Every structure is written in C-alpha cells, then in structure tokens.
Chains A and B, each alone.
Chain A
Amino acid sequence: DAMVIQNPRYQVTQFGKPVTLSCSQTLNHNVMYWYQQKSSQAPKLLFHYYDKDFNNEADTPDNFQSRRPNTSFCFLDIRSPGLGDAAMYLCATSRNRDTYNEQFFGPGTRLTVL
C-alpha cells in the first residue's frame, strides 16, 4: 500500500550528538512536511519542501535542518539536540499546496535526548 514511512520509530540520542530522522513516501506527492509534536500539544510545523523548494517556518530553530535528495525521501537533521528537542517528529505529505490537499502522516519518530 502507498504510505508514509518513518524510520526509526524510536530514537535515543545524547545531548549535543547530531541525529537524523528519515521519512519516505510511495505516494509521489510533491510536498513533504516535518512537524514537531510535544506531549499534549499541537503538532508544530518546522518546515516543508515543495518539490525541491525548501520553506522554513520563521520560528524554527537553526538547529533543525532538512534535506530532500529526491521525491521519495526527506530527512530531518538535528545538529545539536537539547533536552527540549525531545518530542514526536511527524512527517507528512500532500499532493500539492493548494487550499484543499489532504496531508498524509507517517507514524512518527519519538526522539529521546539523554
């Protein structure tokens, strides 16, 4: 089945140690999103790619970077994770950025920072 896949599902890293989270999609969608979701809070959009065009949210810390080497894959890089970066990270895709475009979510990667 077409889907959004995130690996790993659980990631543990040490304070300050770079970590990369992975997302892939078989939907051939143009747009890929990364959200951060902390406990009992709304998912917060970090950035998105529209094809190869990177769009960063104004309040996303510089510590968070992203790469999209091809249509199928998108990576979230956290250069120096802090304790406050522990969260669930959700990847989503949509066909386009038009007003109605359903976003399809992956299962998320839960990041723990020790």
Chain B
Amino acid sequence: GEDVEQSLFLSVREGDSSVINCTYTDSSSTYLYWYKQEPGAGLQLLTYIFSNMDMKQDQRLTVLLNKKDKHLSLRIADTQTGDSAIYFCAEKGNDMRFGAGTRLTVKP
C-alpha cells in the first residue's frame, strides 16, 4: 500500500525553529494535516492545508506543500519546551492515512 513517511526523531534547542518533514504518495489526497500527540493524550489537530495551496501560516506554524514532489513540512518558529510531542502527518483521500510520527524533543 501507499505510505506516509516521516523521520522518527527531531531534537532542537528552545527558541530555535523546528522543521518536520513528510512525504506522501497518494496524489488524490485533497487535504493534508498535522496532528500533535502529547504523552498519554489523543491526537490533536494542529493545522491542515488544502492541496491547491502551497503555504499556510498560523501564528508560529507554517505549512509548506510541494505537490509535485508530494512533500509536506511543518515549521514551528521559536520552539518552546511545551512543543515537545509527537507530530503526525496525515493525508485524506478516500481515507485518512497517517505517518508514523516524528518525536520532537525541545532542549532548554
């Protein structure tokens, strides 16, 4: 089957920018999502982007979409310790398909 892929770990220092990358393979996906999962909690929708857009900004979050390369990224500006969590990329075609998640660790 087609997979959504993302690197498993990212470590940054507090105040730096974090960039989490994702590749997807279903060209029919119309929406792409970023979810955040904190320890012991469910997935929380952070932001999404429609496939005809190439960028979306929402406060500290910037989503970039390269539809030609099927590449999605999430940039978190001024990363804080409270941003430490697992971040899931997901695509929505007929079904919702998730990546395995990137564990972001923010060091003080």
A residues contacting B by CB (< 8 A) are 4, 6, 9, 40-43, 45, 90, 92, 99-100, 102-108
Contacts and interface: CB of A to CB of B under 8 A. Distances in A.
B53 interface: no
Interface stretch (B10-18, B37-45, B56-64, B72-80): B37-45
Nearest to A103: B96
Contacts of B95: 45
Nearest to B92: A99
B101 A106 contact: no
A107 B4 CA distance: 23
Given A45-B95, A100-B31, A105 B100 contact: no
Which of B42, B45, B97 has the most C-beta atoms of chain A within 10 angstroms of its own C-beta? B42
Given A99-B30, A100-B31, A107 B42 contact: yes
A102 B45 contact: yes
